[in-house]
Amino acid sequence: MTTRGKIVLGALLVALLYFGINKVVSSGMIFKKAATESVLLNSIELPTATGGSRANVAVPLAPLPSGTHAEKGTPVVWEVMAWNSQMAGMLANGGPRTTQGSTLAANGLDLQIVRQDDVAKMQADLVKNALDLQQNPDTPGLLVSIMGDGLPAFSAVQTQLKKAGTSLQIIPYSVGKSFGEDKLMGPKEWLDNPKAALGKTIACYLRDGDQNIALKWCADNGLKVNPDETTYDPEAVNFLASSDFLVAAEKYIIGKPEQRTKVINGKNTGVQVDVVADAVATWTPGDVNIARQKGGLVNIVSTKDYSNQMPNIMVTTKRWYDAHQKEVEGLITALAIAGDQVKSHPEALERAADISAEVYGDKDKPGAYWLRYYKGVSEADRNGEVVELGGSKAFNFADNLALFGLNDGGTNIYAAVYKTFGDVQSRLYPRELPSYVPLTQMLDLTPLKKLQDKYRGKTLAPAETQQFAADDEIRQNVSKRAWNIEFNTGQSSFTPAAERQLQQLFNDLVVAGRLKVAVHGHTDNVGDSQRNQQLSEDRALAVEHWLEQRSSSAFPTGRVQVYAHGATEPVAPNTTPEGKAKNRRVEIVLGN
């Protein structure tokens, strides 16, 4: 065969082989055909994150509730303060009273929402409702919403409820939380120098959430506090008692002085001094009023920093709770559905804000006002200083599982919040609050667990989580405090006495869930300097490991950072045993 013939024959064989293989492949005899064909990808859009590592699950927009009263269902009254954390509850109800098409109507409740800013009146109303229910079980039940960290002080009503034959009971579901709107506002210099607050006076409603913000900031910065609102201590932070959060703001705006007796080291000097409100602990619209009407104060610290401090906690009487388990589960279900709607859809949030305006009844504050400050904004005050105002969040079902520690590997965040501020208030005000009701006597998680089991394995909208970058150091300090955590001599292991301090540290840091934590290890000057440097690092690491092992959810990777200083930064002379003890310390810095 000629060369030309060989080339032609070869080409034919190649062609036959090519088409033959294609036929075999396409037939599926060798390779099975894919279920779908390959496509050219133009772009890939990732789902948006909800402040954490979990992707956002799309929740379809449900029909908004009507404006017509449902006029059926179990009657209940819900007393609320003017507080943006209740947006999910507003939408769930459809109006000041339950409307047709609302989730509460769908779950068999007829709820009347009533504004009540007076905590004492809330307590009195609960006692009256308990007595009314005792006489007539068909009496509409009463739910009351308060700041979660204020519940220890609120639980003082337990004495009166026991006389009525019942006790205080928590609804095991939170509609939302304050996320910035509750705050300590003070002079700008306090940011860089917390000690400038000594000898100054903060206006606030005593023994409640806003004062707790100020108290925690003082404790975290080692500032002495004068709990007696009738005296003035120039070496401590003082308080002006106010009847509510709005009056606290007015005391600063008006600037009217109050006469006090001066005390030093707890002793009455007999000297009378005039004090004014130098700072305010309040929430929206108190912070807005300060900025617009006077200015001069900035955010020192808020619930955006102490992000777990202030969940909205609903309480009732055990008498109503035990007799209405079906209604309790229906309430939780309705609030959970509405929470997803408010978090996912602007239309739902706007409707909730309009309902809030109806409930709160301030003619100069329409729905747009509550919507604006729910989201939180930065505005210039009367003096041109930019200040953050407002800020709240709605909760969904997964957020509640996280709050009460029912998620995998979770921590009961609310239990830590309750104990932290119960201990603080009881210590400062032993006469008004000699003790507080243990949380276990008021909190029954059974209804929440039953719903958790019901929806286990199904796709739920995720809880919001906080992420921390391991290499992102603290740029703005919120607080700095030395902790007397005892270690065995020359070692990084804890003594038995250290457990109490570590537990208190744990609770304090859980409250401040959004802040990064810097653990600084220090030693005295005994021994080799290189050995001390390593020892200070080992001890700081021991604290980090203890926190992370206690709760991986509260202390995710990147939240805690460790620094070692050895003996290079003494706070006292190393010439005495007392001075050396002070230098052997762990300092905790919180910031963002």
State the number of CA atoms in the 13 A half-sphere of 522 facing the CB: 25
Domain 74-177+308-455 CATH (choose: 3.20.20.70, 3.40.50.300, 3.40.190.10, 3.90.79.10): 3.40.190.10
Q: Are 172 and 335 in contact (CB under 8 A)?
A: no
pLDDT of residue 50: 34
pLDDT of residue 35: 31
pLDDT of residue 20: 40
Q: Are 396 and 340 in contact (CB under 8 A)?
A: yes
Which residues are within 8 A (CB) of 108 and not within 5 positions of it... i.e. 6 or more apart? 73, 74, 326, 327, 330
Taking the domains of the chain in order of start, what are their residue ranges?
A: 74-177+308-455, 183-302, 477-591
CATH-assigned architecture of domain 477-591: 2-Layer Sandwich (3.30)
* Token couple for 493: 């292991």
Secondary structure E strands in 440-585: 477-483, 516-521, 560-564
Question: Distance between CA 211 and CA 239 in Å, rounded?
Answer: 9
| 69 bridge partner residues | 99
Q: Average pLDDT per run of 10 along the chain, which is 592 residues long? A: 42 38 34 28 26 56 96 96 97 98 98 96 98 97 97 96 98 98 97 97 94 95 94 97 95 97 94 97 96 97 96 98 98 97 97 98 97 96 95 97 90 95 93 94 97 87 86 89 90 92 94 95 94 96 95 92 96 93 93 92
Helices 325-344 and 446-455 pack at an angle, to 10 degrees, of 60
pLDDT of residue 57: 59
* Token couple for 442: 């008021």
pLDDT of residue 276: 98
| C-alpha dihedral, 422 to 423 to 427 to 430, nearest 10° | 40
DSSP 69-131: B---SEEEEEEE-S-GGGHHHHHHHSSSB-BTT-HHHHTTEEEEEEE---HHHHHHHHHHHHH
